Amino acid sequence: MAAIDKINGSYLSIEELTERYNLKGGKAAPALEEGQRSFAEVLTEKQGDAHGLKFSKHAAQRLSDRNIELSNSQLTRLSDGMERAEKKGINDSLVMIDNLAFIVNTPSSTVVTAIDANESDNKVFSNIDGAVIA
C-alpha cells in the first residue's frame, strides 16, 4: 500500500518516506506523544495475551529497545515458568528462558521487565522471591 502525500495527493517515494519518518541509518522513529504506544509495545502485549501474560509498559519498551522478539515457543515457556512460580507461592519471580531474563509478578501475570542476560552489565536481580529456569 503506497503512502499518499496529503498535501498534493501524489505518491511518496521510498526516499521521501524514509526521510519523513526518520528511518535512515537505524535512527529511531519520531517520538511518540504522551499516551501513544509503539507498534512493538502493542504487538508484545497482544502476543502475551494469547499466553495468559501481560507486559507492563516498561517491559514492552525494554523488549523494543533491545530488539528482543519472543517466539511462540518462548512465550509458552515464559507463561509456564510464571505458572510454576505461582504454584510455589512466588510473587515476584525471575524467569530465565534461553539467554533472556524476565521479572514476572505472578499475582497479576505481568512481565515487569525483560533483560538479555548476555548484554546485561549488572547481573544482579533484586526484589524477587524466587527464580525459575523455563
Q: How confident is the model at residue 1 (pLDDT cuts 50, 70, 90)?
A: very low
Question: CB neighbours of 90 closer than 8 A, spacing ≥ 6?
Answer: 106, 128, 129, 130, 132
Give pTM, 2 decimals. 0.63
Burial class (CB in 10 A: 0-12, 13-18, 19+), 128: middle
pLDDT of 116 above 50: yes
pLDDT in tens, 84-111: 999 999 999 999 999 899 999 999 999 9
- CA dist 56 to 25, 105, 116, Å? 29, 10, 17
When pLDDT is averaged across residues 24-31 and rounded to a whole number, the result is: 55
